[in-house]
């Protein structure tokens, strides 16, 4: 099973942070930029930290959607670089490309996990393969640090080749 590790370095601009503060996370569907920021604001600055300072950096990681026991499956986790937390809520969903657009399929995986991955520290999303039609799939991953405000962006990771699976 090919694994894909997408690295997100948390470095946001004041504009994206302002949008993040005023837009609910569920409303944002923009793909995460290559470089993300988590900067302190007057409202969310840790004690003793000036507004606009870098809070921390972390990686959002996932494998590509693959078939497992008759289902499409995707795993997601995170790696701490220098954040002052050891847990994050990792949410992963699967999307399939059908009729010219991406559509959510199957169950959402959501789990509070420690940094590093492995079977105990990752969230898993699955969707039944109801047809053997070749279909492009992707994982949609959101990592929310426990106790630290971060942006609402999600990471999208597509399969390299279509799977013989459609939900």
97, pLDDT greater than 50:
yes
pLDDT on residue 32: 56
Q: Which pLDDT tens digit goes with each residue over 125-162?
A: 999 999 999 999 999 999 999 998 888 889 999 999 99
Count of beta carbons in the 10 Å neighbourhood of residue 98: 14
Please state the domain count of the chain: 1
Segment 104-113 shows an average pLDDT of 98
CATH number of the domain to which 50 belongs: 2.60.40
Contact between 164 and 133 under an 8 Å Cβ cutoff? The reply is: yes
For the whole model, what pTM was predicted?
0.73
CA atoms 106, 23, 28, 60: torsion sign: negative
Residue span of the structural domain in which 109 resides:
3-166
The region that residue 79 occupies, defined by phi over 0 for left and psi between -120 and 50 for alpha, beta otherwise, is beta
Q: Three-state DSSP class for 19?
A: helix
8-29 tens-digit pLDDT: 333 332 223 333 333 333 334 4
- Using DSSP, state whether 46 is helix, strand or coil: coil
């Amino acid at each position: 099973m090919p694994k894909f590790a997408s690295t997100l370095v948390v470095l946001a601009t004041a504009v994206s942070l302002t949008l993040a503060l005023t837009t609910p996370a569920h409303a944002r569907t923009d793909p995460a930029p290559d470089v993300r920021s988590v900067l302190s604001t007057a409202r969310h600055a840790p004690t003793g930290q000036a507004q606009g300072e870098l809070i921390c950096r972390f990686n959002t990681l996932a494998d590509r959607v693959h078939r497992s026991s008759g289902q499409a499956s995707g795993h997601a986790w995170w790696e701490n670089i220098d954040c002052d937390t050891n847990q994050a809520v990792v949410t992963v969903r699967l999307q399939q490309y059908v009729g010219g657009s991406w559509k959510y399929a199957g169950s959402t995986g959501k789990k509070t996990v420690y940094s590093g991955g492995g079977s105990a520290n990752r969230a898993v999303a699955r969707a039944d393969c109801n047809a053997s039609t070749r279909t492009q799939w992707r994982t949609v991953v959101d990592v929310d640090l426990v106790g630290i405000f971060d942006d609402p962006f999600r990471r999208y990771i597509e399969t390299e080749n279509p799977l013989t699976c459609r939900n």
